Amino acid sequence: MVLHTYKINENLKLTLSKNALDHVLHGEVTDKVFETDNGRIAKKVISGGLHTYSGWQSYLSKVPGLKNVLFYNNNANDEWYYERELQNGTILLKLPESVFTSKAAKMTLFPENNYKSGFLWKTLFPKTVGESEILDLLNDALLNISKYESREGELICYYKIDEPLNCMRIAVLYRNGEINSFFPTWSQPNTGNNGKPFSFFDNIGHVISESSFVNESEIIDITDVGLFSKLSTLEEIQDVTPELFLARGAVTHDIQEWDDKRIDSINFFAENCSFAEILKLYNYVNDEGISKYHDMVSQNSYSHFLPNIKLSVGFFNAISFNQNIAEGIMALFLYDQKNKSKLYANTVLNLISNMFTSPFMDMWAKKRIHYIIASLTLGYHDRNFPAEYIDCLSTSPTRREFYSEYFYDSHNKKKHYKSIETYEEIADLFGLILTPPQYESVTYSHFLHYFSDNLGESYSTNYTDEERTGFLLKAYPGDYYEHYVQDSLKFFNQNVFTHSSFILEEYLELFAKEECAKPMKLHRVIYEYFKLQVAQRYRINLNYSEYHEIPEVVTLPIEKYDVYATILKHERNSNRFMTDTIIESVKKYLLTVEDTNLSKVLKDIERVDRKEIPRFPIPYHLIIKMVKSPESVDVNYLKALRVLEVDATI
């Protein structure tokens, strides 16, 4: 049944059928048989379509084991999903591979490889768009086709093109004169705080922020979860906190000396504790409230109980959940090493399966937890566990934080260049490209430097270093937040930023040399790490795009341009070194271990390495031109932005 006919131009006429509309509204859902410990079971899976929120909710009701990552518990639920709402209402939806048919899952790989969308992601029209609104939306969009972005079989068009904050980019797929599907693209107009092109940072990052979408029916009261349910007020938090954490002394100026003494205390506890004591600590670290919602509760503490934090060491230690989790992991590892138990292994799998990431400080907190786990697991008594850990890491909601790299050397170059007076000092500061992490404190200045450089591609494209820092400060949830960051960083040292390529290299060497279990999903870890380094290199180039003329040497008096141009050079070289390290490590590994999936990934990486260029954000004024006055558009500019890669077909 034909619902509508559209005359696109003299040579192209398209029809929309009832079946095609149902494909968009409700999707195509079928049964797929899975083998389980309890026998074969059939589950509902998506074979195509489904681009409305009502259709998504209908599907979700048929798969009760699928939970929002914010509420996911691997002991109670099957798998997790993630929703993100852009400023114009478009919803980005990350789903597990098991909810797709094999063909539908594979179809999401092509747009990921071409920087258009992510593997296992779907896009939905805004929540307010239902069956009665969607035809009006399509009618409006097809009046605003972007010729330069369209190609044979795909029209790119814009809904509400005259409303910058509500404008929506839509793809219409067709064949033989019939519309097969239409949906919002991942890349939305670069007009709001989260409208931007596809980025691999977002593809594997599942940050729970203001743009995260959570169904109101799922929202829970955190005070009813786990250990928090035993408290009448947060002021009682010490009552449920293990003594090992409450007795922790204040951090001293010498972070290495403090760490050494603290590790001695943790080791003494692990050597001498009773089973009841270690079990209490195990239950604390694995508690759903502590392990999952620690950042939210810590922030609430700083927002409402800042005087208590400043006046009571015990209260401060009790609400320092990130540090308590880190120390708990260490204690469980040491206990297992002595007793050949599995408390640490169970905790690792629980944490990296269930934790989610909140913005800013929590990203670094998760990176630190991942770093500690990755470092300890290499030496764990159960030599088969490292493979299980890598497989679990490959689907962890927080894995991006482990893969992300921080070139902290750039911070010192920016901060100290104005005080340099001699060429010897220049050599010390600018002579080294990549230095190993030092056992030195991580400061609030480091925090501002990293996060202002990593707000996103839109910010890197349009704003200066100083402006991005201003946006970062404005994004703080309250005046208390700086206190929270400063206190959290007291426990950090630069070893946290040991480059993940070196850690993964150690795992590859371990799996190649030892007669131990080999991971099944190593290929996904390597692939994602590589893709994230491509995205990181892109951000580096955007952050320092004004400083592309690299000086041969830095001379006195030092100019800002020379400093930033040198940083650009050094960060690109460091990024290249990280990438080369992982590629060479994989090659060496495959000489002794047969892994078909990893071999394919390596071949794919080598095919595109040094050639991949992510897409740039398309300025809104250019969108208007492409739609309303295409004859005035500079084609060379479109090619530079990678908008025009094939000849226009309509």
pLDDT of res. 649: 34
pLDDT of res. 650: 37
Lookup: tokens for 387: 């493979």
Lookup: tokens for 212: 């995260």
pLDDT of res. 158: 97
Q: Which residues contact 448 (CB under 8 A, 6 or more apart)?
A: 469, 472
- Average confidence (pLDDT) over 271-292: 98
pLDDT of res. 203: 85
Q: Where are the alpha helices (H) located in 481-549, listed in sequence order?
A: 481-489, 500-513, 522-543
| Interatomic CA distance for residues 269 and 563, integer angstroms | 48
pLDDT digits (tens, 9 = 90+) for 74-89: 999 999 999 998 889 9
Which of 390 and 612 is assigned the larger pLDDT? 390
- Average confidence (pLDDT) over 204-228: 83
Q: Name the pLDDT band for 215 (thresholds 50, 70, 90).
A: confident
| Burial of residue 490, with CB atoms counted within 10 A of its CB: 0-12 exposed, 13-18 middle, 19 or more buried | middle
Checking if the pLDDT of 190 tops 80, the result is: no
- Average confidence (pLDDT) over 365-384: 98
| Interatomic CA distance for residues 400 and 206, integer angstroms | 8
Q: Name the pLDDT band for 342 (thresholds 50, 70, 90).
A: very high
- The residues pairing with 122 across neighbouring beta strands, listed in sequence order, are 93
**Considering only 120-129, 213-222, 399-408, 576-585, which range has the smallest mean pLDDT?**
213-222
Could you report how far apart the first and last alpha carbons of the chain are, in Å?
A: 26
Q: What angle do CA 291, 66, 287 make, to 5 degrees?
A: 15
